[in-house]
Amino acid sequence: MSELNLPKHLTLHEFEDRGALAEVLSSEIEHQLGRAIQIRGAATIAVSGGNTPLKLFKLLSQAELDWTRITVTLVDERWVGPDDERSNERLVKQNLLVGRAGFANFVPFYTSGVEPEEAAFRICHEIVKLPLPFDVVILGMGLDGHTASFFADGDNFDEAVNPAAGLPVIAIKAPSAGEPRATLTMPMLITSRFLAIHIEGEEKRKVLEMALENGAELPISRVLERQDVQTNIFWAP
């Protein structure tokens, strides 16, 4: 695998295996949340779905933190019910909000019987009530280079990735995404006190390399190109 020549605002943490990555990233998140509680009395974290964070979630769920002072929410959500296997809410509840972390406050996105465009206003209301900016945001990345629900063919893509977006959450529909979705917008990501991109596998490493090329137009490039944001990339094969 080729060596990456990264600008100063990006830090790459490479690991021999995914278990080691999960241990280090879990420890760092625990540190960030614990520090937030100590300084501000509360902490907030937004997490992504998919299979990649499962090991991380299971480790983090046992962190010795005052979880009653921590609010967990989502980076984005597919517009499916919380019992659907594609639901990020379901994934987080089954793998992170268990054990010690079961005492955390959780802010879901999905609302039954309501379209994401209408629900987005409710979610915005819930998000702005939190102590912002987020203390921790953990992003994933698809093989198409999307992160959060920033899909290049999305109807609200330009607004979602706008660093001056007026809303913290918007609905987005994209043919490549399958279901309609709701997602945090760019300002919610880039203002977080600790921003990490968690990716695994050789294929995603190649996508990352493409995203880092000058002039790259992959959605995740919009995050990586922000020179005013310190971003940590965690990768294991």
Residue-wise pLDDT for 177-234, tens only, equals 999 999 999 999 999 999 999 999 999 999 999 999 988 999 999 999 999 999 999 9
181-184 and 76-78 strand pairing: antiparallel
Give the number of domains in the chain: 1
> What is the C-alpha to C-alpha distance for residues 65 and 61, in angstroms, rounded to an integer?
9
- Asked whether residue 23 is assigned to any structural domain, the reply reads no
Contact predicate 189/195, CB 8 Å:
yes
Domain that holds residue 203: 28-212
For residue 100, tell me if it sits in a domain: yes
pLDDT at res. 1: 44
Specify if 236 maps to a domain.
no
Does position 71 have pLDDT exceeding 60, yes or no?
yes
Tell me: the pLDDT tens digits for 135-186? 999 999 999 999 999 999 999 999 999 999 999 999 999 999 999 999 999 9
Residue 5 placed within a domain: no
Q: Which residues contact 118 (CB under 8 A, 6 or more apart)?
A: 111
**Residue 198 burial by CB count (10 A; 0-12/13-18/19+): exposed, middle or buried?**
buried
CATH no. for residue 149? 3.40.50.1360
Res. 2 pLDDT band, cuts 50 70 90: low
Question: Structure tokens of 195?
Answer: 């921003």
Query: For residue 21, is it within any domain?
Result: no
Average pLDDT, the chain: 97
Residue 15, domain member (yes or no):
no
Token pair recorded at residue 32: 């960030």
Q: Give the pLDDT confidence score for residue 88 in this predicted structure.
A: 98
2 located within any domain: no
> How high is the pLDDT of residue 4?
81
The answer to whether residue 118 is domain-embedded is yes
